[in-house]
Amino acid sequence: MIRVLIFGATGYTGLELIRILSSHPEVIIAGGSSRQWQGQQASQALPFIRPDRDFPMVELEKLLANPQADLAFLALPHGESASLIRPLVKAGIKVIDLSADSRLHDPLVYEQWYGPHKDPAILSKVVYGLPEIHREEIRNASIVANPGCYPTTVILGLAPLVHRDDVDTSVAVVDSKSGVSGAGRGGKLGTSFCEIAESFAPYGVLNHRHIPEMEQELSQLKGQPVRVRFTPHLIPVTRGMVSTIYVPLKQEVTGETLRQACADHYRSEPFVKVLPGGTFPQTVHVRGSNMCHIAVEVDERTGWVVVMSALDNLVKGASGEAVQNMNIMMGLVETAGLTGFPLFP
């Protein structure tokens, strides 16, 4: 059995790791950190944890001081992961960082969007953990940066198209919508029930921090700079994310041709499904599962392509992807613990 630690066990990505790993046949959670619940068992913080899957929660510093595990998940707020990576790796523990701290390779770009990095030298040793793009590097990595939820939808949506001559992926308009759990667990007026339920609104218009991550990966894939016009919105659902991506055509091509190209591209991927023409991704069809559903349509009237991709921001957009990365890094079956169907309805 693989032993793992969860730094930040009671935030939403931590809780989701616990949920997913409760069905994983080869993993034991050896411990978790929680400021609020330190000194207690996980089942005391959350009444749904079964006794046979219980584990101790301690302060972060204590967990870091003597980490007995094969792999650590860092499910901490942004800015709090960076300084943990080096000591864990030194202790021989592989690291999957679910925060944004390690995702950008270029420290200058990081600084521009997030401020100074606490350990910039580490960035060059990190693999960007999107298995559909970097599977082989992940296999040998010690440190994996788990992608952001928005970038996962956008990169998976555009990856099959970047090398095509008929689509101009350098001009991408990305309109994304996310469930509220993406904002993390905590008591904020802006994410309180009465302010969010029955509401819908854009936020972080044109300056969301996931932009450089999308541009880094898409530019690298394409071999030339890609810039995105990106507007995220908050949907009054707990889980779920849809990105609607608009790119102009350079030559005439049918939707069927592009769908077929996408389907071919992802033929052997267990967690990406390209939908038939005229059907569109729906968040409840992926909720609780590690799937990303993608649809592609061509607007012949105007000569643009619309790519739509949906996933559960806590699963394929966070903790499910992290477990997929763990499976790859530890030599397990890549789909282990991730084959359950979504919760529908």
Residues 231-290 that bind a second copy (CB under 8 A): 231, 233, 235-240, 242, 244, 246, 273, 275, 279-289
CB 179 within 8 A of CB 233: no
Q: Which two tokens stand for residue 183?
A: 């904002």
Distance CA 313, CA 332 (A): 23
Q: How many residues does the chain have?
A: 345
Residue closer to a second copy by CB (options 284, 330) is: 284
Element (H, E) at 30: strand 27-33
Element (H, E) at 139: helix 131-139
Residue closer to a second copy by CB (options 50, 90) is: 50
Annotated catalytic residue: which of 149, 194, 262, 292?
149
DSSP symbol at 203: -
Q: Which of 108, 165, 194, 225 binds a second copy (CB under 8 A)?
A: 194
Active-site annotation holds for 149: yes
Distance CA 128, CA 113 (A): 18
Least gap, CB of 97 to a second copy (angstroms): 22
225 makes contact with a second copy (CB under 8 A) = no
Q: Which of 39, 77, 87, 202 binds a second copy (CB under 8 A)?
A: 202
Least gap, CB of 273 to a second copy (angstroms): 7
Task: Cis check for the bond before 120: say yes or no (omega within 30 of 0).
Answer: no
Residue closer to a second copy by CB (options 126, 322) is: 322
Q: Which of 1, 65, 206, 333 binds a second copy (CB under 8 A)?
A: 206
Residues 283-322 that bind a second copy (CB under 8 A): 283-289, 291, 293, 295, 297-299, 301-302, 304, 306, 308, 310
Residue closer to a second copy by CB (options 46, 330) is: 46
CB 114 within 8 A of CB 78: yes
In the chain the first and final C-alpha atoms are separated, in Å, by 34
CB 4 within 8 A of CB 22: no
Q: Which of 9, 49, 69, 104 binds a second copy (CB under 8 A)?
A: 49
Q: Which of 35, 125, 163, 188 binds a second copy (CB under 8 A)?
A: 188
Q: Which of 23, 219, 220, 257 binds a second copy (CB under 8 A)?
A: 23
Least gap, CB of 88 to a second copy (angstroms): 26
DSSP symbol at 331: T
Residue closer to a second copy by CB (options 265, 287) is: 287
Distance CA 141, CA 330 (A): 10
Phi–psi pair at 312, nearest 5 degrees:
-90, 115
Residues 6+ apart with CB under 8 A from 92: none
Residues 102-131 that bind a second copy (CB under 8 A): none
Least gap, CB of 63 to a second copy (angstroms): 22
CA-based angle 57:59:62, to the nearest 5?
105
65 makes contact with a second copy (CB under 8 A) = no
Residues 6+ apart with CB under 8 A from 121: none
Least gap, CB of 342 to a second copy (angstroms): 5
Size of the site for a second copy (CB under 8 A): 85
- Piece of 96-104, 138-146, 229-237, 325-333 that binds a second copy (CB under 8 A): 229-237
- Piece of 59-67, 112-120, 148-156, 202-210 that binds a second copy (CB under 8 A): 202-210
- Piece of 11-19, 70-78, 95-103, 137-145 that binds a second copy (CB under 8 A): 11-19
Q: How many CB atoms lie within 10 A of CB 223?
A: 9
Distance CA 99, CA 1 (A): 26
228 makes contact with a second copy (CB under 8 A) = yes
Residues involved in catalysis:
149
